[in-house]
């Protein structure tokens, strides 16, 4: 007790410093959680295998709603790039086709089925007048552009898939990277704005 009484001043400083460090850490955790809730996270997934008949899904893994405004598909063939909007598509389901649009709001945790990748490829082929485009293509990139929450600026996401052959020699698609790249930085705003002006 005598030691505590003699060192009361330094101990008080150490305790206050420790409390301050704890509050700073707690504030950082709260800030990080708040930023995570405000940050859009859109996934572009491939389901039902890797064949061209596999399906393309747009998933909103954000806390808030994401409004899909535009979907662009881009195919690289040699030194040429073919690009077009695939926001409105003919979706094939059990040998039946129907016209649909992927434009519209997606709540947090929801997804939208864009149909088969083959439909997207055929749409680009039709626009480019290159019917055998899948046989020569190296990669396919899907871009999703939209508005997140109450943000005024559009944000986007993209994922690239490469063409290859399966064991039976059939064409298939495989994602180049594990994750979807979310285009939320300022450096992407100019390109996103140009896409919206050109395709909407």
Which letter does DSSP use for residue 110 in this model? -
Could you give phi then psi for residue 70, rounded to 5 degrees?
-155, 140
Give the start-to-end residue ranges of the domains of the chain.
2-36, 40-199
Span 148-172, average pLDDT: 88
- Strands 80-85 and 104-106, by their bridges, are unpaired
CATH class belonging to 40-199: mainly beta
- Identify the pLDDT of residue 29: 83
Q: Is 89 exposed, middle or buried (0-12, 13-18, 19+ CB in 10 A)?
A: buried
Least trusted range by pLDDT, from 36-40, 100-104, 167-171: 36-40
- Strands 111-116 and 66-77, by their bridges, are unpaired
Would you say residue 3 has pLDDT above 70?
Answer: no
Least trusted range by pLDDT, from 50-64, 93-107, 160-174, 186-200: 93-107
| Runs of H (alpha helix) within the chain | 2-6, 8-38, 117-128, 133-136, 189-199
Could you give phi then psi for residue 81, rounded to 5 degrees?
-125, 125
| pLDDT > 70 fraction of the chain, expressed in percent and rounded | 90
Compute and round to an integer the Cα radius of gyration of the chain: 24
In three-state form (DSSP H/G/I as H, E/B as E, the rest C), the secondary structure along 122-136 is HHHHHHHCCCCHHHH
CA dihedral of residues 93, 97, 98, 99 (deg, nearest 10) = 120
Q: How far is CA 15 from the centre of its chain?
A: 46
| pLDDT > 90 fraction of the chain, expressed in percent and rounded | 46
Average pLDDT, the chain: 87
Encode pLDDT of 11-33 as tens digits. 788 888 888 888 888 888 887 77
């Amino acid at each position: 007790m005598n030691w505590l009484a003699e060192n009361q001043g330094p101990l008080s400083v150490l305790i206050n410093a420790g409390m301050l460090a704890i509050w700073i850490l707690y504030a950082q955790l709260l800030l990080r959680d708040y930023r995570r809730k405000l940050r859009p996270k859109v996934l572009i997934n491939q389901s039902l295998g890797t064949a061209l008949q596999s399906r393309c899904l747009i998933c909103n893994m954000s806390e808030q709603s994401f409004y899909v405004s535009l979907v662009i598909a881009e195919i690289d063939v040699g030194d040429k790039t073919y690009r077009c909007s695939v926001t409105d598509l003919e979706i094939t389901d059990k040998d039946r086709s129907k016209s649909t649009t992927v434009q519209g709001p997606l709540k947090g945790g929801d997804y939208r089925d864009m149909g088969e990748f083959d439909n997207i490829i055929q749409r680009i082929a039709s626009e480019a007048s290159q019917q055998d485009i899948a046989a020569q293509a190296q990669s396919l990139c899907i871009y999703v552009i939209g508005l997140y929450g109450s943000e005024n600026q559009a944000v986007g996401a993209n994922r690239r898939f490469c063409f290859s052959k399966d064991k039976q020699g059939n064409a298939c698609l495989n994602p180049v990277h594990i994750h979807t790249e979310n285009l939320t930085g300022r450096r992407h705003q100019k390109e996103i704005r140009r896409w919206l002006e050109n395709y909407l």
